[in-house]
Amino acid sequence: MLRDGRFYRLLPAALAPGFLITALFFHQATIADAQGWSLSWLASSFVAFAAGHVTGLLLAGTLVDRFGALRLVRVFPLPLIVGIALLAVGNHPWIAPLYLLLAGLSVGATGPISSALLAELYGTRRLGAIRSLAYAAAILMTALAPVRAGLLLDAGISVTDLSLSFAGYGIAGSLLAATVGLGGKPGNRSAFP
């Protein structure tokens, strides 16, 4: 897996939801202040995140079975990207639940798509070892996300600019994932012949 270039091209998209949402959640007070939202309004908007998360979980499993994880890893960060972009373009109070709903869709889809992706690319023979390495990378990224966002905010980067840069990261990750072909390697248990 570590010698497979596909892994590195898919990793940014696969890690985007966890990385981005962790950074934003850690700095939600700053976001609320910059947007002119009360913390109680932002907190109550997390119901939308929960609804999106559950919906993302349920939809992702069905979509993986129908289209395959490799196709979906290219597009599942898109709702989160749109949600983050909304933070950059406006501050209407209804952006809070909409942004969180869209974020929840992507974050909910992460588990089913990432797990199925690893099985599609590398088979199931060493899936435990492969998943442990992939999840270690995810934990590292989510640990670094709040620090990176905090340093940028402390340096004077606005929430708007931070949101735009995060949306740009998500788009770049999706585009990079799109460079991975749908054909499997010989001997791989890929869902795509």
Q: Which CATH superfamily is domain 5-177 in?
A: MFS general substrate transporter like domains (1.20.1250.20)
- Position 5 scores a pLDDT of 86
CA distances 95 to 32, 36, 141, 158, Å, are: 11, 11, 26, 17
pLDDT category at 183 given cuts 50, 70, 90 is low
pLDDT in tens, 138-173: 899 899 999 999 999 999 999 999 999 999 999 999
Q: What is the pLDDT of residue 127?
A: 85
Q: pLDDT at residue 190 above 80? A: no
Question: Per-residue pLDDT averaged across 88-92, rounded?
Answer: 93
Given a cut of 80, whether residue 122 has pLDDT beyond it is yes
Predicted pLDDT at 58: 95
Residue 186 confidence (pLDDT): 33
Q: Domain boundaries in the chain?
A: 5-177
